Amino acid sequence: MKYSQLHTKTNKTGKEYDSVNATYLINGGFIDQTMAGVYTFLPLGLRVLRKIEQIVRQEMDTIGVEVMMPTLSPKSLWEQTGRLDIIDVLMKTAGANHRSLSKSTQEYIINCTHEEVVTPIAKQFNPSYRDFPFAYYQIQSKFRNEARAKSGLLRGREFRMKDLYSFHVSEQDLEDYYQQSKEVYRRVFKRLGLGSDTYVVRASGGDFTDNYSHEFQTRCESGEDEVFYAAQSEVAFNKEIAPSQAPEFDQSGEQPAERREVEGEGIVGAEALAKHLDIPIEKTTKTILFEADDGRLIAAAVRGEYDINEEKLRKVAGCSGLRLASAERVKQVTGAEVGYAGIIGLPDEVAVYLDDSLAGRVNFESGANRTNYHIINVNFGRDLPEPSRFYDIKMALAGDYFPETSEQYEVFRAAEVGNIFPLYTKFSDAFGYTFTDQQGKQQPVYMGSYGIGTSRVMGVLVEKFHDEHGIIWPEQVAPFKVQLVSLAGGESLAEWLHDQLQANQVEVLWDDRQLGAGEKLADADLIGCPIRLVTSAKNGNQVELKRRDEAEAQLLAHHRVCAAVS
């Protein structure tokens, strides 16, 4: 294909966007931003997206059958699962003007996921145990009402996604398929060139199970997630659920000192407090009061440098939901304004959960439960009873250890390129989807869902594979295998090569523009096809071949080029 037939152009201004992928994809003419988080895939970008999606499709075909569900669905389906009011990125349609509204005032849901659509379809067609297991999948655009879209293709309001839904006669069969899907996903990311940097990461299984879901996270500085990886154990966790053991705070030899109250008016945050009290932050204690859904008042405390992980606390406390206690409730219970709660002297009605980072400390600080005051030199067993139990209720921090093996986590940023999620019977229950077993009895259907963000993968690929000149596409997803650059005097050889390569099924982009060498070579680097060929008067009948990921070029006789790049 000729560059002039793309009818898009590279942007020479070198404008920088908020991420590498946005900068190179926009400046390279792969995508165009229609608005924040919403892009047009231009001819070059569409070619890359298609290749990514074709790899995903080929692998999904081994475990499911492709369908195409609609973007719109009736609200009634979402009422049935209770998610109409829950999903915080859900969008609906409405007539855009008076004329449209006079035709119809009906509103529809714009699907951000398809459990509500796929479950009734499966129920309709597959009522018998003989029909199981099976899975439907699709690759299409999805929509989320994001407050802030950012980082190019990494977080969009409109984005491309593969979603697959599996159906099973038992939890065991779901589990087997779930494990199989992990292997298929590993193959997908390997084929996409992301295999070595993509981790299977445990994440929350949602509020209906204590089990994990799993995210496929590609190590990537622009990623939104933080991964805690225990390398020896080959186990990775999303920060949001990572079990953690705090680094030990060495106080060997320190003797209990005299406890006393210290004034600390208006000091916000553990760091400021530690400075004010002139103690290490590890001696401070963060105590937060929550109200549980069951009405209980809960005090949770962590070492000063940590935050409470509400999800962990919720599970430890055995309640279905938590919210911060109101300022009035805090005052009523502690006798103090918010900010001075501590673990000494709380009334019995408060259930206290202490994080294990609090264990073994000498002379630590606690809020005084008195406005403007803190207590220092507190010690368990003297100033309050030795706790019978500590819990892990902290949000993990870099430097923490994996409790099971006490190995220190490797912590890195990552972009979630896929996730797999055991849904159990949540959606089949909502739609009354049971199957008839061999004894003729109705049994619950188990489900799983499995996503891959195909446009995000495109962004992640650029984040991973680039240098200061532009993108370095892995061959399997490159828009073209070869970018053929004809400089002055090299036009007719280029035309011959272009035809030769096409006849040999080699995908080639011929930069046929009448521009200077500098500009054309810079564009080839920016666009990033794996192989660059240059013809010119200087090279005569020879062709310069340079791989995008190598520094050195070589000169080849023109009749040897086809064989060299095929």
Q: Could you list the residues that contact a second copy (CB under 8 A)?
A: 5-9, 29, 32, 34-35, 38-43, 46, 49, 65-74, 78, 84-100, 102-104, 108-110, 117, 121-122, 124-126, 131, 134, 136, 141, 143, 145-147, 157-158
Which residue lies nearer to a second copy by CB, 133 or 530?
A: 133
Q: Which residues pair with 302 in a beta bridge?
A: 286
Which residue lies nearer to a second copy by CB, 73 or 476?
A: 73
Cα 295 to chain centroid, rounded: 34
Which residue lies nearer to a second copy by CB, 96 or 268?
A: 96
Give the shortest CB-491-to-a second copy separation in angstroms: 16
- Residues 222 and 415 sit within 8 Å (Cβ to Cβ): yes
Which residue lies nearer to a second copy by CB, 166 or 366?
A: 166
Strand residue runs (E) in 425-481: 434-436, 442-444, 446-452, 466-467, 470-471
Give the shortest CB-14-to-a second copy separation in angstroms: 16
SS3 for 241? coil
Which residue lies nearer to a second copy by CB, 136 or 237?
A: 136
Which residue lies nearer to a second copy by CB, 48 or 545?
A: 48
Give the shortest CB-423-to-a second copy separation in angstroms: 18
Distance, in Å, from the CA atom of 545 to the CA atom of 408, rounded to the nearest integer, reads 46
Distance, in Å, from the CA atom of 403 to the CA atom of 368, rounded to the nearest integer, reads 31
Distance, in Å, from the CA atom of 469 to the CA atom of 528, rounded to the nearest integer, reads 9
Distance, in Å, from the CA atom of 487 to the CA atom of 484, rounded to the nearest integer, reads 10
Which residue lies nearer to a second copy by CB, 91 or 351?
A: 91
Distance, in Å, from the CA atom of 317 to the CA atom of 293, rounded to the nearest integer, reads 11
Give the shortest CB-276-to-a second copy separation in angstroms: 35
Which residue lies nearer to a second copy by CB, 134 or 390?
A: 134
- Residues 490 and 516 sit within 8 Å (Cβ to Cβ): no
Which residue lies nearer to a second copy by CB, 49 or 346?
A: 49
Token couple for 501: 């390569």
Task: Fill in the DSSP letter of residue 147.
Answer: S
Which residue lies nearer to a second copy by CB, 34 or 332?
A: 34
Would you give the end-to-end CA distance of the chain in angstroms?
Answer: 17
Instruction: Find, among 444, 429, 456, the residue nearest to 115 by Cα.
Output: 429
Give the shortest CB-468-to-a second copy separation in angstroms: 25
For 213, the enclosing helix (H) or strand (E) is: strand 212-219
CA dihedral 66, 67, 72, 78 (to 10 degrees): -80
Distance, in Å, from the CA atom of 212 to the CA atom of 276, rounded to the nearest integer, reads 41
- Residues 154 and 146 sit within 8 Å (Cβ to Cβ): no
Which residue lies nearer to a second copy by CB, 148 or 389?
A: 148
The most distant pair of C-alpha atoms in the chain lies apart, rounded to whole Å, by 91
Task: Fill in the DSSP letter of residue 412.
Answer: E
Which residue lies nearer to a second copy by CB, 91 or 279?
A: 91
Which residue lies nearer to a second copy by CB, 140 or 408?
A: 140
- Residues 361 and 251 sit within 8 Å (Cβ to Cβ): yes
Opening angle at CA 87, ends 292 and 53, nearest 5: 135
Give the shortest CB-167-to-a second copy separation in angstroms: 9
Amino acid letter, 512: D
Distance, in Å, from the CA atom of 121 to the CA atom of 119, rounded to the nearest integer, reads 5
Give the shortest CB-11-to-a second copy separation in angstroms: 9
Instruction: Find, among 245, 380, 367, 241, the residue nearest to 316 by Cα.
Output: 241
Cβ contacts of residue 192 below 8 Å, gap of 6+?
Answer: 52, 55, 457, 461, 474, 476, 477
Distance, in Å, from the CA atom of 422 to the CA atom of 50, rounded to the nearest integer, reads 28
Which residue lies nearer to a second copy by CB, 102 or 541?
A: 102
Distance, in Å, from the CA atom of 374 to the CA atom of 262, rounded to the nearest integer, reads 5
- Residues 38 and 156 sit within 8 Å (Cβ to Cβ): yes
Give the shortest CB-236-to-a second copy separation in angstroms: 29
Neighbours of 564 (CB within 10 A): 13
Opening angle at CA 527, ends 522 and 532, nearest 5: 70
- Residues 64 and 135 sit within 8 Å (Cβ to Cβ): yes
